[in-house]
Chain A
Amino acid sequence: DIQMTQSPPSLSAAVGDRVTITCRASRRISGDLNWFQQKSGQAPKLLIYAVSSLQSGVPSRFTGSGSGTDFTLTISTLQPEDFATYYCQQTQSAPFTFGPGTKVDI
């Protein structure tokens, strides 16, 4: 199984800050790396798929990058509505595993 880790587990930031979240896979992923945002009481929402492709309707301040085993989600200018928990996920092979999440406090 491919294990996913994330860092940091949580962070505090101010509106307007640039925020970076890191995700690492236990072995190389060809490109099947996705990022989700989850707000309290809501289902996860797809932000980024295939490492860097922005899902329709997602603001361009969200960008994904990386390759191999190391991946990054960047929020260029943090907005109040970005308070949430962010998860990375690999869909290269079953079981499709998620990272433990990074909670972003504004």
Chain B
Amino acid sequence: EVQLMDSGGGLVQPGGSLRLSCAASGFSFSTYSMNWVRQTPGKGLEWVSYISAGGDTIYYADSVKGRFTISRDNAEKSLYLEMDSLRDEDTALYYCVRELWSAGYRLWDYWGQGTLVTVSS
């Protein structure tokens, strides 16, 4: 059974840092690209970052570029999101998401349960 377990969220002050983790099981993690997506009541669903299966291709949303770093450890079957210089507007539920290619189309088929990040003084 495919499982993605998000963790690492919590309360942090503005300007602080946090590291999110996503532990994968039930599939060959090293052969799948992964994404981080966040959700707030006010802004809905927002894609945050992408990393290819081998870690050689990375994308970021403009809103987090220069502050967040995505990485992965295929041996440990884990995905990470290092978040620095956190702002109030980074407060959200963060999901890791598995990406699959089917017939030339990108689709996101499995999501973690989410980990809540709250940025507040």
In the complex, the number of residue pairs spanning A and B with C-beta atoms less than 8 Å apart equals 57
> What per-residue 1/0 map shows which CB atoms of A81-100 lie under 8 Å from chain B?
00000010101001111111
* Dominant SS among interface residues on chain B: strand
Complex Cα gap A46–B111 (Å): 9
Stretch from B11-19, B44-52, B73-81 that touches the partner: B44-52
Complex Cα gap A87–B39 (Å): 12
- Interface residue tally on A, bucketed by range: 20 to 34
Interface residue B62 (Cβ < 8 Å from any Cβ of A): yes
A78 CB to closest chain B CB (Å) equals 23
Interface residue B109 (Cβ < 8 Å from any Cβ of A): yes
Residue of B nearest to A50 (CB): B105
Decide: B108 and A43 in contact? CB cutoff 8 A: no
> What per-residue 1/0 map shows which CB atoms of B66-109 lie under 8 Å from chain A?
00000000000000000000000000000100000011011111
